[in-house]
Structure 1
């Protein structure tokens, strides 16, 4: 292997690729003198060392400027400027975000300030309005003070009258039946409001007898007086009697009935009412026997069909009985008042002239008359007027007729009601009330 000659080759030095290094075209042939000259020139030109590598183009520029004596640019500063510009470019989105946040904060502050100003304006307006109202009230007080003493008295009296006119809610009359499922306390008000709306269905024209050719109101009274006696002997429920008379009147208002068939209408109407109201219905043969076998079984069944078809099977109508039970509850009645009221009601059923009054009005008038007979004061109060929807003035006409019927109850031929309520089962109400009436007339 060939050996290289020693001492002919110089050791490697800087090749001149850094700023401030030896700027020579051929570093190998440089002498030490030339190197010192270059160093002096570099010190004269005051080059600044940087870490940027020198390319061929950049080295040629440096040498030309050194040869022509032009001042070299501060590369380090330029690099710092370029680095800062790049840093600004990269950091611009963050600055923009920060700027946006600052803008939002400023807008929020402005909005808050505007809201505070609005609140202050509103408070100022409210204070002004209060001051105005106070001034107005003070003016009104001054005016009222200027009024005379008589005027103040009139104002106080009018205020007292207005306070009296304000109605307090009526007491709950169904409180005692809250645990009774048969009383249906939850629906009782709706039920009776429905009864009042449909009450006209149970009413008949007050002059329907004028359309009958063979019967009159006296025959009707005889029939009803007889049916009350039959009802009492069969020991039927009171609802059955009221429904029986209602069916008869409604049927007679539609159909022309002959005199011989009037009793058949009566017993058939009672048979239908028993089927509707009673638990143990009397037999058909019992009604035939009561009528002294004047009619056959087929006659009764045919009349039953005729009545149901004529009335269109409408048997659920509010009678005077349902209103009587409700009004007695509102009156907080005892057994005596209840018996007297039903006694007066049955007296009204016999009379044809009482058909011009609705059932609710007749029942309310019977209670009013009974309270007067038993000397209960007041005879009519706010609770009764609320539940009956009748005032005391509206009852007076019907009450006068009931008093006349009560005076004549023991007279004439139609005395079944008087005899019925003269027994101990009904506390001899007819006799006692008659005696009280005689005492009042004598005094």
Structure 2
């Protein structure tokens, strides 16, 4: 369906010929295409400040701020009122009751506005789930977090609260079925082909796995809200990977890399337009909880081996191509994938801390187990073999070659 596969991180280098000068002629030099500073990251390729013949003045962020344009807080305004009235002789000292009341009113109004913003930020939480989450200092830590309490990189005191927050936030990004309703010309098979190609991009560009999962999520969210022609499906997937790369990678690929791997079917302007459209439709909110992050947390708390974690990652990555699973919560898919991997390798049990950190009892994840296991049994008959070949490599402990169990043995 798609015309070109990426060949590596530096895609499409330019060949620069050096002019020959007699006996001192130099050989041709191969170097990557030149890039303007931050041009590919900000997409600031055009001067947008000139409109209708008038140049808009844009403040220089590096220019020192003058006294007139420094933002003043409410507390500073209150203090200024006190000093001003003292100079005018209207008060005898800074502790005048009337003046203090005036200052307190300004500060209290500011605090009330802040509390309203906090309520709006958590407006997606239903019921008393927020109250059920106890403060980190008041509840006992999981044994894994307790052991790593002194390691600042584990942020053990807040780790469980962070993932509890992720789990509540999942509701904001739940995707409804869109094929046959919003999308009439795109089938589940077309979507699977696109995701299979995105896995190739992630592998050849050497991107983080988080980038792949976020890109698939962005693609599904966009298609659930906007009707997409099948001719633009590859453009949408490429733009989603580029956005996810900016969010997760230290050095994202260039736009030219994506236009090259699409065989120049789309030019730079089309690519930037699609990027803008995707960001608008997701309201520029890229903090989407993804199943890969949940899986790593569960495996750490359960103290599983790298082989078992990698097998769970293989199952989870295969699930990205399954359209029937897009309506499920990412945290639950991660839990079901890990449970299957634990049973296949006869390592650990679904109890104790792994139940506490995931919030799912075995009965809650059982409905997903047959779906994921059927996917494992059918992978060899599928024409989409990128994930299978990837996890058949020794780097991934050849976990794709492990024979799956019968569903009856899992349940």
Instruction: Please name the residue that 2:80 is paired with.
Output: none
**1:387 Cα shift?**
1.1
For the pair 1:418 / 2:378, whether they are aligned, the reply is: no
For the pair 1:177 / 2:160, whether they are aligned, the reply is: no
2:304 to 333, 340, 358: 333
**Residue by residue, what CA displacement relative to the aligned partner does 1:326-353 show, whole Å, maximum 9, x if unpaired?**
1111211111011001000011110000
The 1:176/1:209 distance shift into structure 2, 3 A limit, reads farther
1-structure distance, mates of 2:152, 2:181: 46
TM-score by length of 2: 0.63
Instruction: Please name the residue that 2:321 is paired with.
Output: 350
- For the residue of structure 2 that corresponds to 1:181, the secondary structure is coil
Instruction: Please name the residue that 1:110 is paired with.
Output: none
Q: Is the Cα contact below 8 Å between 1:209 and 1:253 reproduced in 2?
A: no
2-structure distance, mates of 1:260, 1:207: 18
Instruction: Please name the residue that 1:187 is paired with.
Output: 158
- For the residue of structure 1 that corresponds to 2:250, the secondary structure is coil
Instruction: Please name the residue that 2:362 is paired with.
Output: 392
Gaps of 5+ in 2: 1-138
**1:207 Cα shift?**
4.2
**1:365 Cα shift?**
0.2
The 1:372/1:264 distance shift into structure 2, 3 A limit, reads same
2-structure distance, mates of 1:179, 1:286: 43
Instruction: Please name the residue that 1:15 is paired with.
Output: none
2-structure distance, mates of 1:201, 1:407: 33
Instruction: Please name the residue that 2:237 is paired with.
Output: 266
- For the residue of structure 1 that corresponds to 2:224, the secondary structure is helix
Instruction: Please name the residue that 2:193 is paired with.
Output: 222
2:285 to 289, 314, 317: 314
**Residue by residue, what CA displacement relative to the aligned partner does 1:345-382 show, whole Å, maximum 9, x if unpaired?**
0111100001121000000000000001001243x112
Question: What does 1:120-199 align with in structure 2 at a 5 Å threshold?
Answer: 171-199=142-170
Q: Is the Cα contact below 8 Å between 2:304 and 2:348 reproduced in 1?
A: no
TM-score by length of 1: 0.58
RMSD of aligned alpha carbons: 2.0
Instruction: Please name the residue that 1:53 is paired with.
Output: none
Instruction: Please name the residue that 2:73 is paired with.
Output: none
2-structure distance, mates of 1:232, 1:176: 34
Q: Is the Cα contact below 8 Å between 1:228 and 1:241 reproduced in 2?
A: yes
- For the residue of structure 2 that corresponds to 1:210, the secondary structure is coil
2:267 to 276, 296, 307: 296
Which of these two proteins has the greater Rg computed from alpha carbons?
A: 1
Q: Is the Cα contact below 8 Å between 2:177 and 2:224 reproduced in 1?
A: no
**Residue by residue, what CA displacement relative to the aligned partner does 1:377-421 show, whole Å, maximum 9, x if unpaired?**
43x112221111111111111011111111111212111110110
2-structure distance, mates of 1:309, 1:170: 39
1:240 to 203, 211, 216: 211
Gaps of 5+ in 1: 1-167
**Residue by residue, what CA displacement relative to the aligned partner does 1:187-230 show, whole Å, maximum 9, x if unpaired?**
21221121111111222013455211221221111100111111
1-structure distance, mates of 2:366, 2:223: 29
- For the residue of structure 1 that corresponds to 2:153, the secondary structure is helix
> Which one scores higher on RCO, CA 8 angstroms, separation ≥ 6?
2
**1:300 Cα shift?**
0.4
Q: Is the Cα contact below 8 Å between 2:215 and 2:244 reproduced in 1?
A: yes
Instruction: Please name the residue that 1:276 is paired with.
Output: 247
2-structure distance, mates of 1:382, 1:181: 25
**Residue by residue, what CA displacement relative to the aligned partner does 1:207-260 show, whole Å, maximum 9, x if unpaired?**
455211221221111100111111111111111011000100001111000010
**1:169 Cα shift?**
6.7
